Structure 1
């Protein structure tokens, strides 16, 4: 805790952070109300959800970090080198960095942190970003005494060996679970975390707020604000009312309110938007019935008016998909056009495939209002070309399990990237190695696609890797293993007194170090 806040009684902290109405522009605390539920923990090892990951990114640092525009760059490591075979990384660490408790950061803390995440006794986390490290899986499974691939060569150098080359490995180290913690931690570390981050914990009132103070000794430069409050407001309408009263500074605009905000000149002036790394699609099980034929799958794409669905049901918040790579990532082909809405073409393709009279099929839908509306629209569009769709609504976990087991003909899904790279779309969603449980619930199988994606994963030259991404995306798009819907846009309302906020492309890409509040 910073010296300033350690001298303030708790009630004073709340008064400091909760200046309202006309006073809001004069306070030095930014109040962020994007999260609708409490972080599950403030321990990086237990980071499994967005609110936890965001909070961890304020309190901790990894060897690398993401910028708001999703570029990976140095954090606790100032630079790194990789061997020509792509299997060994040498990270050179920043000197003089201290944890919030005053202890110095050393290379041994990296080894300790990764070992802790992979410890077999840790059953609540998601250690998979560290699995590429040599010996990580064996250690996590209890088959090895140490993580063989992580070595502290001295206090300022860490060597990490991988089982196989993986070009995007530095991006995995920017994920919250790979954040570095001190060697000595308390038993209640998840409630009282100690990191090296730009912010330190003042108070966590569960299901209400998390209050953070700026770290004046932060190696990247102290934040411009004195404090940052994360308010937990489960009900979207309540968050909107609080924003309109000036009680919060940053609001995620609910889908249902988007058009109302955009139709008001006063409210529209407060909006800022950016493409999220989130793809909405309908997975088509390429092993089932008519869906085995690529012409049928292409027909389904032509039969659905995605533009109208996006405009009418989601307030136009997105861009039509012409592949699985978001337009903000390298590898996306801006020249490729989405499947055109054309029922004539759809009928011709169906007839050519032997289904001139259409067919019966099931569309599975998780019990989510937005998904349900989209599914009902797709059902109506497909009926026009003779495809008779039965909607199967199930609780999300049950629908996901059915899709993974190959029991669903089609399923409405979305995919939110874990890290900003085309590989995180091509590989989990369509590579043969991930059919079923791995994420490829289209059960798409194309040896040439797999070969290209596998090459891209080890290619160290970024321009060559980008070309491989584009080639793979083009190949799969032509074979239509899904109905390509759209890439979603995040829409935020930001108070006019907030300066310097940039909507992050990836959830942990905004640390609020350059954000300020200015009287207006």
Structure 2
């Protein structure tokens, strides 16, 4: 009898343990996949959100508002226009047990400038010196004033110097070793990434103990995996399936207006139609953005009048879109000498943004109505983005989200005349160039007075969006997620759309 009772008790314990383990685990279908596990080798949001689970930066962004908060640095101070001093968190260890110290910070920032392992080369080259005062105090000095330097440190992930320099470089590319909330378990490229909770994490062990991420890029397949119960959560709910997800009583939809804007970049090369501000205004006014949101985006977007959204430094709350007015657009074209229109190529990715290919199709139809003949050039992102970086495209659709929450960085990278030596205009693929804007962008770089700098950035934003038509804004995407109700997962979307699993909890 005692033996039978013992067996029954053991079975009950195992059953309870199994239920508890299931409740503290989650399988997620994500709409993007990592290229590698080297945290400096991929500067895309798709890569950074994976790295943020395995690594920490000196700072982090937390919660629904993306508030800047301490991470591996507990305190920081701007010593002068070029120098920042950091006091580091003590008692932190990497997943291999190595202690985190100032040497790891120095190694990390020096590594950024190595093009063989880093896509943050310009960030690395902007650093003049790194001074270690002791194991837990370090000063980083930049070559020129960078007002948003501190705002970008949540995505500069700290690596273990000893581990990175002694391991095979190929192994570093596929097996992350950080201080983050999760430890790497396994990665099968294209199939899944597995991770487990770091029980010794400096911020406390995360509630979800085991995470499996399945990158499924095809939207209907991703949705089927959720409905069938193969996964408990889905990122990137496609707008064409939104109504189906909403009606399914097994699922809960979680959505948040995104800070990622979708817009048209266009050149202003002298001698071309788009060098004339009236032509730029005409293109803007020919596009019926409300109809794009209603029919192409299925209502899951918000109209944009500028590129970064609030609470970005430099955001102008009362900035309005130019009205949709095709008759006025044709009048402007006539005044500019293009009464019979002209021909142009509109490029864009067909696998990066929500409904991207369909958006450029719609834009082409609107422009045709005012006499502009458009040749569409939709292509995979693997081809499109290198062409943008090489400056091969004069008119294209693209998206932008600046993780620094600072419009100065946006304009320095996307609107300043290309200047490789000084690090300006590196993402200005259309080659837009305006000396007046360049001067204003550069004048904000050394401003230490936060209020004066924000006012200058607001003036810059108005100049760009109203006086120059630097870009043609379309809309802000809606970030849509779906969670199975039986998964018991509590989830709040982040403004950067990153999936940070330490922030999830059990209901």
Q: TM-score range by the shorter chain?
A: 0.7 to 0.9
Q: What are the residue-to-residue correspondences of 1:424-503 with 2, within 5 Å?
A: 424-433=409-418, 438-478=426-466, 479-496=468-485, 497-503=487-493
Structure 1 residues 222 and 367: alpha-carbon distance in aligned structure 2, compared to 1, 3 A threshold: closer
> Which residue is equivalent to 2:71?
75
* 1:395 CA drift (Å): 5.6
- Distance, in Å, in 2 between the alignment partners of 1:191 and 1:375 is 36
> Which residue is equivalent to 2:249?
266
Match of 1:163 among 118, 121, 143: 143
Match of 2:308 among 322, 325, 335: 325
Q: What are the residue-to-residue correspondences of 1:51-130 with 2, within 5 Å?
A: 51-68=46-63, 69-84=65-80, 86-119=81-114, 122-123=116-117, 125-130=119-124
Match of 2:132 among 137, 149, 152: 152
| SS of equivalent to 1:383 | helix
1:338-385 Cα deviation digits (max 9, x unpaired): 111112221222233233333333323445593332222222212222
The answer as to 2:37 corresponding to 1:42 is yes
- Whether the 8 Å contact between 1:240 and 1:253 is mirrored in structure 2 is no
> Which residue is equivalent to 2:268?
286
- Whether the 8 Å contact between 1:324 and 1:426 is mirrored in structure 2 is no
- Distance, in Å, in 2 between the alignment partners of 1:301 and 1:192 is 47
- Distance, in Å, in 2 between the alignment partners of 1:33 and 1:210 is 11
Q: TM-score, normalised by structure 1?
A: 0.83
1:222-278 Cα deviation digits (max 9, x unpaired): 1112222222334332221221133322212443534424662737x7122223342
> Which residue is equivalent to 2:365?
380
| SS of equivalent to 1:427 | helix
Match of 1:356 among 336, 339, 348: 339
**194-203 or 296-305, which deviates more:** 194-203
The answer as to 2:218 corresponding to 1:229 is no
> Which residue is equivalent to 1:338?
321
- Distance, in Å, in 2 between the alignment partners of 1:265 and 1:207 is 28
Structure 1 residues 118 and 290: alpha-carbon distance in aligned structure 2, compared to 1, 3 A threshold: closer
Match of 2:24 among 13, 21, 28: 28
- Distance, in Å, in 1 between the alignment partners of 2:404 and 2:16 is 35
- Distance, in Å, in 2 between the alignment partners of 1:357 and 1:346 is 12
- Distance, in Å, in 1 between the alignment partners of 2:439 and 2:488 is 48
RMSD: 3.0
Structure 1 residues 132 and 70: alpha-carbon distance in aligned structure 2, compared to 1, 3 A threshold: farther
The answer as to 2:278 corresponding to 1:295 is yes
Structure 1 residues 50 and 24: alpha-carbon distance in aligned structure 2, compared to 1, 3 A threshold: farther
* 1:119 CA drift (Å): 4.1
* 1:305 CA drift (Å): 0.1
Match of 1:391 among 368, 376, 399: 376
* 1:400 CA drift (Å): 5.2
Q: Number of aligned pairs?
A: 480
- Whether the 8 Å contact between 2:246 and 2:252 is mirrored in structure 1 is no
- Whether the 8 Å contact between 1:25 and 1:517 is mirrored in structure 2 is no
1:94-143 Cα deviation digits (max 9, x unpaired): 111122222221111211223334346x3464433333211xxxxxxxxx
> Which residue is equivalent to 2:5?
none
Structure 1 residues 406 and 354: alpha-carbon distance in aligned structure 2, compared to 1, 3 A threshold: farther
Structure 1 residues 372 and 512: alpha-carbon distance in aligned structure 2, compared to 1, 3 A threshold: closer
The answer as to 2:159 corresponding to 1:180 is yes
Query: For structure 2, which runs of at least 5 residues remain unmatched after alignment?
Result: 1-14
> Which residue is equivalent to 2:228?
245
Structure 1 residues 396 and 241: alpha-carbon distance in aligned structure 2, compared to 1, 3 A threshold: closer
The answer as to 2:300 corresponding to 1:306 is no
Match of 1:133 among 117, 127, 137: 127
- Whether the 8 Å contact between 1:277 and 1:505 is mirrored in structure 2 is yes
Structure 1 residues 181 and 276: alpha-carbon distance in aligned structure 2, compared to 1, 3 A threshold: farther
| SS of equivalent to 2:109 | helix
- Whether the 8 Å contact between 1:299 and 1:347 is mirrored in structure 2 is yes
| SS of equivalent to 1:183 | helix
* 1:501 CA drift (Å): 1.9
